[in-house]
Amino acid sequence: MNDPMVSRNPSYSSALETNKVLRNTYFLLSLTLVWSAIVATTSMVMGLPHPGLIITLVGFYGLMFLTEKNRNNSMGLVFTFAFTGFIGYTLGPILNAYIGAGMGFAIVPALGGTALTFMVCSFYALTTKRDLSFLSGMLMAGFVVILVGFVANLFLQMPIIHLALSGIFVLFSSGAILLTTQSIIRGGETNYISATITLYVSIYNLFLSLLHILGVMGGDD
């Protein structure tokens, strides 16, 4: 039986739908983060090798494409966990490399910094009345800078550029969290699978960037 209040009040119905998308997004995001942590830990303990740049890029973008393509059906959830599981697998060897290089001390602070940044950004996006849509242009500009810097550093191999890119990635990921969260609140993002993937990738990039910054800065004795 339909709720007469919902049928008479479109704004009330919209609010209910928004809350549902937000609730489903946070729930699925929590599940994927736990799943990734389990896979990453298993990968670390078993000492599995990193799949390499080509396989990583193909797996990352291929699974992301399949997730987005199936975001409106049940296979979207299957590909969501396949994607986040694959990312967890690639993260294990990276963490082992940091530990092997004597920079394992950076892992826990990077996790804490990632969690704190996500909570602060989410809280601000959920409570502010300010329109954050201006961030979309800044994020596009930031993406171009990151892409150019990444390509340039493939040839230059300068640690300072890598460190600068990590700093830009922290800002880029924080902006993506702010923009995505407010987009859910304001009804711009109505698919919780898409929202989850965006937030997950932002958290992943944020963690890796903080890990690199803390590892490099902490290693300068």
Q: What is the pLDDT of residue 44?
A: 95
| First-residue to last-residue Cα distance in the chain | 68
Q: What is the pLDDT of residue 27?
A: 96
Exposure of 37 in the CB half-sphere (CA atoms within 13 A): 10
Residue where the block lists tokens 């994607």: 83
Q: Report the alpha-carbon distance of residue 193 to residue 28 in Å, rounded.
A: 8
Structure tokens at 100: 């092997």
Q: Report the alpha-carbon distance of residue 128 to residue 186 in Å, rounded.
A: 12
Looking at the whole model, is its pTM more than 0.85? yes
Q: What is the pLDDT of residue 1?
A: 45
Residue where the block lists tokens 């890029």: 57
Q: What is the pLDDT of residue 7?
A: 47
SS3 assignment, position 219: coil
Q: Report the alpha-carbon distance of residue 130 to residue 20 in Å, rounded.
A: 22
Residue ranges of the domains in the chain? 4-218
Total residues found in the chain within this entry = 221
Per-residue b or e along 183-201, where b marks 16 or more CB atoms closer than 10 Å to that residue's CB: bbbeeebebbbbbbbbbbb
- Find how far residue 15's CA is from the centre of its chain: 25
Residue where the block lists tokens 């995001």: 29
Per-residue pLDDT of the chain (221 residues; tens, 9 = 90+): 445 544 455 555 666 777 889 999 999 999 999 999 999 999 999 999 999 989 999 999 999 999 999 999 999 999 999 999 999 999 999 999 999 999 999 999 999 999 999 999 999 999 999 988 888 888 888 888 888 887 887 777 778 888 888 898 999 999 999 999 999 998 888 999 999 999 999 999 999 999 999 988 876 54
Q: What is the pLDDT of residue 8?
A: 54
Q: Which amino acid is at 170?
A: V
Structure tokens at 133: 């849509």
- Find how far residue 195's CA is from the centre of its chain: 10
